[in-house]
Amino acid sequence: MQAWQRGQAEESSNYLLKAGSLNSKMDLYWRDLSQIFLFRLRELLARTDLTQEEMTSQAQALIADAVNSANQATAADPKNVANWNIRGFVYQNMIGILGGADDWALRSYEKSAELEPNSPYIFT
């Protein structure tokens, strides 16, 4: 997390990927990774120095990484509401980019509501 605080998103994701490979059941690693990959995707999309091919290739990789990390978090601990909220948030950010993202976001938020019906997070 020190790398993240220094503004080094790529280094942060590398550290968390290593941590996740050492302990794949630690859902916190995967939740944080999904957020870092979303951040990196936003940074990438703001760049103007890449060709369309480079942009597309890198964006596809970051989208896959964000989605896979969010899914890994829910697989690691399917009863943790935070994992479902993050998964919904990741898919929500993919609407218009990734086919079916709207359905996956809705399903994730529904699962979150099922686990914790009084949580205000999913309604904001």
List the chain pLDDT tens, one digit each, 124 residues: 454 455 566 777 777 777 777 777 889 989 999 999 999 999 999 999 999 999 999 999 999 999 999 999 999 999 999 999 999 999 999 999 999 999 999 999 999 999 999 888 776 6
CA dihedral 40, 83, 121, 92 (to 10 degrees): 50
The answer to whether the beta carbons of residues 76 and 26 sit under 8 Å apart is yes
Identify the CATH number of the domain in which residue 75 sits: 1.25.40.10
What residues make up the domain containing 91?
2-123
Number of domains in the chain: 1
Q: Model's pTM, two decimal places?
A: 0.85
* pLDDT, position 22: 72
DSSP state of 86: H
Query: In one letter, which amino acid is 111?
Result: K
Alpha helices by DSSP H, the chain: 2-5, 9-22, 27-46, 52-76, 81-93, 101-115
**Residue 121 three-state SS:** helix
